Each structure stands twice: as structure tokens, then as C-alpha cells.
Structure 1
Amino acid sequence: MQIPAGELLKNINNPDDLKKLKPEQLHLVCDELRQYIIDVVSIHGGHFAASLGVVELSVALHYVYNTPFDQLVWDVGHQAYGHKILTGRRDEFITNRKYKGLSGFPKRSESEYDTFGVGHSSTSISAALGMAIAAKIKGENRKSVAVIGDGSMTAGMAFEAMNHAGITDADMLIVLNDNCMSIDPNVGALREYLTDITTSPAYNKFKDELWDLLGKLPGKKISRGVAHKIGEGLKSTLNSNSNLFEALNIRYFGPIDGHNITKLVDTLNDLKKIPGPKILHIVTVKGKGYELAEKDQTKWHAPGLFDKVTGEIKKKVFNTPQPPKYQDVFGHTIVELAEQNPLIMGITPAMPSGSSLKFMMDKMPARALDVGICEQHAVTLSAGLATQGMRVFCNIYSSFMQRSYDQVVHDIAIQKLPVVLCLDRAGLVGEDGPTHHGAYDIAYFRCIPNMIISAPMNEQELRNLMFTAQSDNNKYPFVIRYPRGEGVMPEWQTPMQTVEIGKGRKINDGEKVAILSIGHPGNFVQSAIASLKQKGIHPAHYDMRFVKPLDTVLLTEVLEKFDKIITIEDGTVVGGFGSAVLEFANENGYKPTVKIMGIPDQFIEHGTLKELQAECHYDTNAIIEAVEILVGDTSKNRVELFG
């Protein structure tokens, strides 16, 4: 169902159409754009509060700058819905985050206005700086603008980029969207620093003086001389607590109201004339224009479908108890463990709600820490704690863990510190798409010495692995990976038991074909076996539990009995669990026919989990098909990578 746009918005098919409007019409466009986002997201879902907070900024940037010639880079991308609607994708926006539809994030292959693909935070300043340097080398008079939230500014990469920008003459603007939020409330000294700026009386005085210099007084016009005067005089007008950006040699302007479209347009027009690296600090409200989202910004970051009038978030109604999300099993279980073991601590980089570490933060705030969007720091902080005997659960999404790979190798594995790395969102994650799929952690951790890599098939197994990992018997870094979404056990709060490290389990005996699974896809195997049984086909099923160390005793038993084997995992088929099984078979002289099922060697786009698992050919139907082919197959010594 197409959603009708407002009278002005329906005629804006690109930024050139926007530029035809009079300045006094822009506030009407903002109202219509905000309403359109509310209308579409309430019916079709998606991220919500972040884009509402930057409606005025989205309109102002495309009104002032010559996009796409001028390069506009959005950080993270949750806030780019207005940008997408204004750049030719209004009518397609109902397909946002749907299978084969628009991506939920800026994406270069989707539009020329999406100058840089984003998904993980804090990349915008580096990317925009690269574009600005390239423009200067090529002699192109194009502007580069990076839009970054104050949450993303906490990451080290943002400071690395600003540190470099300050020694260049690159013509770039950084827009700091300050709303005191990422997904959860921001933490750390930077948050307090920005609050000081926005509430400082000295800054208000400074701001008035600055606008005078920019030509806001009657009869004044900006000139190179005035711009130079600004550059020379800034440091003397800043108060003693407000010199961070200036210390990096980036000219600072603001703070200004990010919801005043007139002020934004005037300011951006002025800043276009000032050369070199500069930062504009705007203050916004996440969820602006939708009262409930303004009041509870975390809840309304991505609320799902809702009634836009009442604000009621629509949830499925079930007649029977449903299994919990894996993340909530983690969150409640770590609290149980921490109540028994005073040395347990929890660490998360800015995802206390997403990882459910919030349960421990509420009960034990001194022992559960949100370190901001700083994955590298989270891992090395965990290592430091571990050197002092603390039993640390460092919870990071699988795709975000990629950002701290060196720290795992250098600070944890080499020193053989028993940090527990809980990888939430392992495997396909659905609508967030290729930037967020946790496809690679098995492969990139499996090659590191001293690592234990495990994956639970259900909630009980997750609890047992957590119990095992925190015990004094564990002396190694311990990875526990689990998927996004629900498990399979409504009655999941079972007593915790120690699991022998490197020990799998046989779930079903069988004949002709053995299926080896790791993690949650073992449940797909069980569903497939139930269907195959009706056809008189009885494959064996082994839940391996550990990718490293492999259960070599169990594997030897399988390879002695079966010459047809299927491996299944929710990770990449290249270098993953299936590869580990093949390596063991080869090293020990076995030559089975093996089919490796999992995520193929390509980037998987967005869609529902069921749609993507079917596309990658490792859902229940795909397993049934693979078994039937093998049972009727007489060829030998084949290896197939399914997907």
C-alpha cells in the first residue's frame, strides 16, 4: 500500500525540486517529511526516532549543498531516512528493509546520493575527509560533509579522523548531531563536555559575537577578511572548557538549534564560504515530532509496527508460552552467575539494551559497564580486568567484534586470558543486512591459537556454556556465539551444568548420512529429520557444540561409520565449521562425501531471517533436499559449498 505524501513533498523527486521552494516553505516540507516517516514506519517498520531528529538537517543540507556533486556522508545510517526520501526514493520507501527492497542504510549501489555505504558507526569523518582530499588533488570545487551523532563521536576512529583533518586544508564540514543518544543514552566524559558547551553562558555570548562576525548585523557581508578574523579570534572567545575541537585545529561553530530550519540554512550557507575543516554543533531531540519517541528514545529507536495515533506497539499474541530471545537468556543468566560469583563483570560497547546487559546494569551497576561505541577499548579493558582475576563477559555483536580483532589477538589470545566473548547476533540478522550479518566470526576466530569457540543449540546450552566459561577450570579465551531472535525453549531457566570443553553430543543415531551441526541451526536439522522420517530416511544428527577444540573422538566415530556427511552452520562456508571438519578428515585419511551448508561466499542482502536462510540454502527445506540427494547419490569424494 502506497503512503500519500504531503502537497509539497509529493513533488520533490530530487534535491533540485527542493531547491525550487522558497525558504519560508521549508518548515512545511519538514512537517510533511516528518509525518511521512511516521506514516511509513508505523505500518512497515524500521528505525524511527533517529531520522525524526534530523528532519530539518536533512532538508537544510540538500537545500544548501549541490548534492550529489557535493559529497554528503551519513554516519551509521539510522538517521538517513529523510535523506532517502528527498533523493528520489520516496515512493520506494515502503520497501525499506524488506527483501529485495531499499536498504535500511545508505548504500552506494542504491543511489548516487549515497556517497558512502554505512552501517557501523564513526566512519563518516574519515570517509568525508578522504573525499575532500581527493577533490583538492583533482581540482574539483566540491564540498564534503560528514553528519555524525554524539554517540558515534565517542569512538576512537572519529578522533583519529579529526586529528588528521586538523593538519589538512581539506574543505570539509563535520555536523555534530548532539541529542545525548545513540541507541541507549550516551556515556562518558564527552557527553558531559558537550552538555557543558550547550549550557554555558559564555558560549551563548560567544555565539552572538560569532553571528555578528558572519554578517548577521545589518549591512554586513562575509568576506575572506572576516573569515580570517574568525579563525584568529575563535580561541580568545571560547571559554576554558570549550577548546577540544579548536585544539585539533578544527574551527568550531555552534551550538545551534537543529530544529530551526531557517537558522540551519543560513548557517550552512555561511559555512560553505569558510575554507578548511570545520565543525557545526547542532542540538536536536531524537524522536522529534512524535511525543512518545521524545520521551522514551531507546524504546522508539526501532519499535516495530505501531499505531501512530495511540502509540501502541503491535506485538504478536500467542496462546501458548513462547521461547525468549537469546539475548535475554544471556542477560538474565549473567545476573544469576554474578550473584554467585563476585568476580564476574559484564562489558558492552554501547549496546546494554540490545545485548540485555541492562539487567545486570540495573542490579549491579558497578559490575556491568557500558563503555560507549568503543569495541577495541571494550576488549582490552576486559583483558586488563582478567589479569586481575576478574571473570569478564564481554558482549559484542558478532559484526561489531570485527572492529576489535587485533585486540582479541594481541591482548587476549597471546596472553591466554580467560575473557568470555559473547557474540550476539551471530549468523544472519535479517533486515539490517550485510553490514550487520554475523557471518565471519567462526572463520576469523578459528585461526587464532588459544581460543575456545562454541555455539549453543538452545537456551539450556547457552546457560551451560556461560556457566562453564566462568568457572575456574577454564583457562582460555572462550567465545560463545548465538543468533538474533528467539530460541526454542519456553521453559528455559534450567539448572546450569558444566559442559566438557571440546565435547559434542549425539542427538540422533541413524544410517547412510550424518549431519553435523553447530549452534542454533541444529534445530533446523531436527525439523528436517522429523519430515525425513515420514519418508523412511533416517540420518544421524550430532550437535558438535564446539568448533575449537573439535570433538575428535566423536568425529572419528562419525567418519568411521558414515561416508556421507552434511555440515551445517550459520556462518560463512569458507573457513568455518565445515572447513574444520574437512581438515580433520583429510589429516586423518578419511575421504567422505561432504556437503557444507551455511552462508555462501558472498554478501547477503537484507530480508527476514526465514527469507535469507532459504536464500542461503540452510533452512529446514534445504536440509531435507540435501539429505535426499545424498541418499540417492552414488558419486564419491565430493565437497559442495551450498548457498
Structure 2
Amino acid sequence: MYDILKTISGPEDVKKLSMDQLHTLSNEMREALFNRLTKIGGHFGPNFGMVEAEIAMHYVFDSPNDKFVFDVSHQSYPHKMLTGRWQGYVEDEHFLEDSGYTNPNESEHDFFNVGHTSTSITLALGLAKARDLKGMYENVVAVIGDGSLSGGQALAGLNVAGEMHSNFIILVNDNEMAIAETHGGLYKSLQDLRISKGTSPNNIFKTFGLDYIYEENGNDIESMIAVFEKVKDIDHPIVVHMHTQKGKGYEMAEQNKEAWHWCLPFDRKTGLPTVDFGQGENYLTMTQNYILEKAKADPKFVVITPAMPGSIGLMPEQREQLKNQYVDTGISEEAAVSMASGVARNGGKPLVITNMTFIQRAYDQISQDVCINNNPVTMVMNFSSFDGLTDVTHLGIFGLSTFINIPNLVVLAPTCVEEYKTMLDWSVDQTDHPVLILIPGNEPVHRDVDTTYEDLKYRIEQQGEKVAILALGDFYQRGQELAQAIEENFGFQPTLIDPRFASNVDEDMLKRLETNHEIVITLEDGVLDGGFGEKISRFYGAKPMKVKNYGLQKVFYDRYDPAKLLEELGMTTPQIIEEIKQMI
């Protein structure tokens, strides 16, 4: 099945193939993509749409001397196969050896470990600048999707590139999509260029001072080879604007591009996932229902997302229901947060939604535009838990330490369904604070909880003695398990506390613990450095109370097994019990 693909140890082998063999290779590569993605999932549409272009790139250019930088790099699977890593796609036992993104540790043909968007142009500009400083002459190619162009860093890169006077090639993959549909005035220019086959005077790239060439047949190997041969060794910056079909080669993905941007393991015949998460309640559906009901009830409510409506399940039909109470700012968290601050300032009720890993790009806007002004913006973050996304470029574990130290920002860590729902209700309607809410990563659980948040106080769930456990957010259930184990092992009932407010220190409660407790244990679903537990340790710093913080290390973990990581960190219940024995 993979007769040609298995002969590819590097780009030099691609160059030896005839045109017929290249077409056969493209078919084999799509079969290899099916083999991997049906079994372990991953980015589907971006890779299926780039097979022909990446074959042509390696046929014409001379990687790694010529350097390719892939934006997001979630479309780099074909590139990996062509640089000798086909085993990660055709041999199941090698799947885990190959990450879902470019990775310099895997190959000399990868220059950056990157999984966030709108960065390829500026990263590649740096490579080109170093080349020029050294007096070298290799080609530098930045690959970027049309959706990623909406990010400010990409536009800044185009602006800088416009002043270059040496080789620089920007390959714009225009498949008329971001993750969901594209939004914004930029895409009127791309549409005009597609319709006119590149001749429209409404050309944003020429506005930046860049040379420009259009290729309609982005999924045709011969056409892409021809256009790359035209621009190879060019002595100035140029944009190659190619039109492709996202998900090409699988009808379901071609017809429903948003749903097939990324996929779970699935059955090829039916397109249905082979992983069953059950039909029970989940936090995404709760969030979606809250948004739709709130929008109907309150005309001042608006949802703002940086191209991530799917992060809480807002699919096209829900977005249509929201109408003008839904705004997609494109791939620009900065714009989403600043716009939300303006909405709040003028009496609206904004809710910003995305994944924790992506909101990091908007740190300055959260701090400056929202929190200095103390505007009541609500931000809801998905995948903030340690056992959610585990790729090094998509970790949510840094969110707590990143955001809980911004003044005025209230960071809420719900532990159950009731807390999450009431936190949403309270946050959107209150006018005193900007609020960031972490969507729980655990299975939904129900508890009888206090639903008042105005006083920003912790909640004692079980009053005990000697040992107090402050178990934050997703780790609350671990705190329950630990409390039970303490009682079983030591014969006394510890105190169990749901802090709720990750950004606050409830000094009154902590002072009360001093009367009949010797040890305070903190459990948090994030990095210890700068995290919640350190705030508690600092409070007790000059006092006799012993404090032990449990959380993650300041490490870029990559594709880890969550259960094994907890054991490595000494965070399992039996391990903590052994440490308590040493402290008591």
C-alpha cells in the first residue's frame, strides 16, 4: 500500500520521482493520514488539504538548507512523512514517536516547536535576518493559513517583510476557513483575489509592499511545482497565494470543514467517532445552554470569541440563533478581550470564550484594558486542567499562575456543576470585577454548595482538626479522597476546604485554622511557582503552621500520561499520606 512512501528517507528521494510517482505518493500519504487519524485522531482538514503543496515544496526546495516554517504547524503531517518520518503514520507502534506539530527534536527539517497561530511569518523573518547577517543565500518559506492572517502578529510580520530586500517567500494557504468560518474585512480582499485569479486591485499583500503571485490549483502537484520554481531563489519578499480545499480527499471533511478541522479516532466509512464519551451531561453543553438562554433573556449579553466557538460547542446553528449577540474577532485574543472591555464599559455584558492555552496571548489586554479599568468582563476558559490537552504547545496548566496575580481579576475554580452554573450567573450580571472562570475538566459532579460569591470567601466543606486540606477546582475530588484516607489512617477527621477563589486569600479563614490545626495541605491543578498554594504558604510564612503545596512543576511537559505524572510528582493519595506521617 505504501510502496513509494516507504522509500522516502528525506526530500532527496522525493526529487527522484516521476510525476506519475508523485501522484501515487500523494494517494499513499492520504492513506497514511487515514491510518493515523482514524486510530488516534488529530488535525484532519489542514493536513488533507496540504498534501500536494508540501510534496511540491520538497520537490523544488532543498530542505533543511532551505527552511520551512509552518504556522501553527498543525498542517505539517505531510512534511513529516516527506522528511523520513512516515513510520509515525503507517506503523501504529510508532504513532507516539511523532508529535502533532513540528518539533526540532524529531528532525533537522523542523525549526520550531510551535502550535499557536499567526507566528510563522515573524519566526521565518528571524531566520531570514540571520541568513542575511551571515551572508548566506538559502530560501526561507513561511507557510500560513488564511485564518491565521487575522492574528495581529501575522499582519505585523507582513508589515516588516514589506521592507525586506532579500529572499523571503510567504505561502498563504487559502482554504476559505479558519477553524470555523473566517470573519473580518481582511477576507474581502482574499475573496476578491480568488474571484479575479489574483488580479484584483484590492490586494492587501501589495499594500504592505510585497510582490504577489496567485495559484488557483493549490491541490495540483504540477501547478505547485511550477509556481515554486518561479519563486525559488527570488531576491525579494513575495507572497504565493494558493487556493486549496480543506479536508480534500474525504467527502465528509470537504462538506463539513469546521467539524473536521480536528478529529477524534473515527470510523472511515461512517465518519463517526470510535471513542464513546457517553450521553450524560457535560460542561460544554451546560455552557452552550447558558449562553443561548442568557442571550434570549438579556439583550445586553454578547459572546465574543477569537475564532474558537467550538471550544464551548457553539456550532453554526447556535451562532445563527445568537445573531448580533455573537462576535468572532478572528484569531486574535487581544482584540476579543479589548472589545469585551469596551462592551462592559458601555453597559453591555460580555462573555469571552476560548481555550486557556490561547488566552495567554492576551495577557497585556487582560491586565491593561480590562483589569486596570476594572471592567466587568467575564472570561470562560476551557482545557485549563492538567489532564486535558497534553501537547507541549497546548498546555493549560500555566493559566493559574499566569492570571491569579493580576490585580482586580477574580479567578474562579468551580468544583462541581452547581458551582459552575452559579458562578456564570453571578459573574455575567455583577459589575464589580473582571472574572475568569475555569471550566472544570473532571466529569460533572453534583454537590450542595453555597452559591454566594460577593464576599470572595473560601468554603469549609468538612470541619475537622489537625490537618486542613485546601483543594482547588479540579483537584477538589482528590481532596475529598485524601480527607477520607487521613481519617482511615490517623483516626481523626481533617478539615476540607473548597477555596473557589484561586486569586484570593481568605485571611480570616486561614487565621481560624491556626487554633486547632498543625498542617495545611494545598492541592492545585496547575504550576506551583506563582500559583495558589504559594499564596497560602506566604500567609503562614512567619507562623508555626506547616504548609505543604502539591501541584505541577514549572516544566514544559509534552504528551504525558496524567496518572503517571501525578505519581512522579508524589501527588497520589498514598504518597501524600506517607508525607503526612513524617510531618505529624
Whether the TM-score (by the shorter chain) exceeds 0.5 is: yes
Tell me which residue corresponds to 2:249: 289
Q: TM-score, normalised by structure 2?
A: 0.94
Matches within 5 A, 1:526-605: 526-535=480-489, 538-586=493-541, 589-605=542-558
Shift of 1:561: 2.5
Q: Equivalents in 2 of 1:99, 1:442: separation in Å?
A: 32
Contact 2:35 2:89 in 1 (8 A): no
Deviations 1:219-278 (A, max 9, x none): xxxxxxxxxxxxxxxxxxx4332x311121111100321111011011101111432110
Contact 1:99 1:606 in 2 (8 A): no
Q: CA deviation at 1:421?
A: 1.7
Aligned-partner Cα distance in 2 for 1:556–1:87: 61
**C-alpha offsets along residues 453-498 of structure 1, whole Å, 9 cap, x if unaligned?**
21101221111111111224x41111112344x5323x79x99944
| Offset at residue 91 of structure 1 (A) | 1.3
Judge conservation of contact 2:210–2:239 (CA < 8 Å) in 1: yes
Q: Among 250, 257, 268, which residue is 1:308 paired with? A: 268
Cα distance change of structure 1 residues 614 and 400 upon mapping to structure 2, 3 Å threshold: farther
Where does residue 573 of structure 2 map in the other structure? 623
Q: Is the 8 A contact 2:180 2:307 kept in 1?
A: yes
How far apart, in 2, do the equivalents of 1:612 and 1:632 lie? 23
- 1:437-476 equivalences under 5 Å are 437-472=395-430, 474-476=431-433
Residue 559 of structure 1 and its aligned partner are, at CA, apart by 3.4
Residue 432 of structure 1 and its aligned partner are, at CA, apart by 4.7
Which residue does 2:239 correspond to in 1?
279
For structure 1, which segment, 556-565 or 175-184, has the greater mean C-alpha deviation from structure 2 after superposition? 556-565
Deviation at 1:299, TM superposition (A): 1.6
Contact preservation (8 Å) 1:97, 1:431: no
* Cα deviation, residue 603, structure 1: 0.9
CA–CA distance in structure 2, aligned partners of residues 91 and 98 of structure 1: 6
C-alpha change, 1:56 and 1:481, in structure 2 (3 Å) is: same
Output the CA distance in 2 between the equivalents of 1:543 and 1:513: 14
Which residue is 1:347 aligned to?
A: 304
2:286 is aligned to 329
Secondary structure, counterpart of 1:196 in structure 2: helix
Cα deviation, residue 67, structure 1: 0.5
Tell me the SS of whatever aligns to 1:365. Answer: helix
Unmatched runs of 5 consecutive residues or more in structure 2: none
* Cross-structure match for 2:322: 364
**CA deviation string 1:105-157 (max 9, x = no partner):** 11222221111221110000001111111111101121110110000011111
How far did 1:190 drift?
2.1
Cα drift, residue 430 of structure 1? 4.2
After superposition, give the CA deviation of every residue in 1:340-361 in whole Å (9 maximum; x if it has no partner).
Answer: 3332211110000123344752
Q: Are residues 559 and 256 of structure 1, via their aligned partners in 2, closer, same or farther at CA, if it must alter by over 3 Å?
A: farther
Q: Is the 8 A contact 1:96 1:103 kept in 2?
A: no
User: Is contact 2:481-2:573 (8 Å) kept?
Assistant: no
Q: Once the two structures are aligned, what percentage of the paired residues are identical?
A: 32
Shift of 1:98: 9.6
Q: CA deviation at 1:47?
A: 1.7
Q: Superposition RMSD on alpha carbons, in Å?
A: 2.4
AA at the equivalent of 1:522: Y
Distance in 1 (alpha carbons) for counterparts of 2:260 and 2:47:
11
* CA distance, structure 2, for counterparts of residue 411 and residue 78 of structure 1: 31
Q: C-alpha distance in 1, partners of 2:90/2:450? A: 45
Structure 1 residues 362 and 551: CA distance shift in structure 2, 3 A: farther
Give the SS at the match of 2:551: strand
Greater shift in the superposed pair: 307-316 or 348-357: 307-316
The offset of 1:550, in angstroms, is: 2.2
Check the 8 A contact 1:49/1:300 in 2, yes or no. yes
- Following the alignment from structure 2 to structure 1, what is the Cα–Cα distance between the partners of residues 561 and 495? 29
Give the AA of the match of 1:628. Answer: E
| Residues 524 and 462 of structure 1: CA distance in aligned 2, closer, same or farther (over 3 Å) | same
- Check the 8 A contact 2:215/2:227 in 1, yes or no: no
CA separation of 1:270 and 1:97: change in aligned 2, threshold 3 A: farther
Q: Equivalences for 1:49-88 in 2 at 5 Å?
A: 49-88=45-84
Q: Shift of the alpha carbon at 1:617?
A: 4.7
**Residue range with higher mean Cα deviation, 135-144 or 599-608:** 599-608
Note if 1:509 corresponds to 2:463.
yes
Q: What SS is found at the alignment partner of 2:114?
A: coil
Range with bigger deviation, 94-103 or 412-421: 94-103
Q: Does 1:239 align with 2:200?
A: yes
User: How many angstroms apart in 2 are the aligned matches of 1:545 and 1:98?
Assistant: 42
Q: Does the CA contact (< 8 Å) of 1:482 and 1:520 recur in 2?
A: no
Alpha carbons 1:361, 1:369 under 8 Å: kept: no
- In structure 2, the residue corresponding to 1:77 is in which secondary structure? coil
* Counterpart pick for 1:24 among 20, 24, 48: 20
Q: Does 1:375 align with 2:333?
A: yes
Instruction: Kindly provide the CA deviation profile for residues 131-185 of structure 1, in whole angstroms up to 9, marking residues without a partner as x.
Output: 1111111011211101100000111111100100001113111110011122212
Shift of 1:536: 5.2
How many equivalent pairs are there?
A: 582
Q: Could you tell me how far 1:60 is from its partner in structure 2?
A: 1.0
- Residues in 2 aligned to 1:280 and 1:53: alpha-carbon distance in whole angstroms: 16
> TM-score normalized by structure 1?
0.85
C-alpha deviation, 1:501, in angstroms:
3.9
What CA distance in whole angstroms lies between the structure 2 residues aligned with 1:304 and 1:615? 28
